[in-house]
Amino acid sequence: MIEYRVTKYDPALRDIGGAYALPEWSSFTDIGCMFNGSPLSEAEYLQVENAYISSALEFLCESGVSSLAVRELENHRGAQLTFGEGSTLSLEQLKTALPRVLREEFWCKFEGPDSFIHIGYDYYMYVGVPTPCSKAEQVAAGIGLFVEPFKSPYGGLVAA
């Protein structure tokens, strides 16, 4: 499996320990808060959120993955969901579920037998796919994201 970290954070701006060195927004709830002298606008947030979703789907499409299952679902806020633990979501359903995870409405892993999308703390996304995805890497870079080889800290795949 090929694993990537796909983020809005420029790796050149990480310190020696790998931590991102600049103050940066990391949550939907940061809309309206000040960063680099100006408030984070909803439009700016949505542009980045859409880039994450497009990139995730591009990796899945390029590698031939058509669905992922919901694993380790946590819904502490009681969000209305049309799926549950173990549900299989098509790419179209993932397109709707991913922004909700990015906005911290609920949390889960999206996983298949040889692929995954994990959304982590501080707006980090981890993608695992069965084959290298050079086109998806280019698409992500073209819409302002950084793609790095990186093993997901959320562990390996859960057996189906």
**Up-side HSE of residue 43: CA atoms within 13 Å toward CB?**
0
28: nearest Cα among 102, 95, 81, 98: 102
pLDDT of 149 reads 95
The mean pLDDT of 53-80, rounded to a whole number, is 96
Q: Does the pLDDT at position 54 exceed 70?
A: yes
What residue ranges do the domains of the chain occupy? Answer: 2-149
Record the pTM: 0.93
Backbone angles phi, psi at 124, to 5 degrees: -105, 140
pLDDT of 19 reads 82
Q: Of 18-22, 56-60, 73-77, 118-122, give the lowest mean pLDDT range.
A: 18-22
Q: How many angstroms separate the first and last alpha carbons of the chain?
A: 17
pLDDT of 156 reads 64
pLDDT of 96 reads 96
Q: Does the pLDDT at position 155 exceed 90?
A: no
pLDDT of 160 reads 46
What are 73-86's pLDDT values in tens digits?
Answer: 999 999 999 999 99
Backbone angles phi, psi at 152, to 5 degrees: -65, 130
What are 98-149's pLDDT values in tens digits?
Answer: 999 999 999 999 999 999 999 998 999 999 999 999 999 999 999 999 999 9
CA distances from 95 to 24, 99, 117, 124 (A): 25, 7, 12, 17
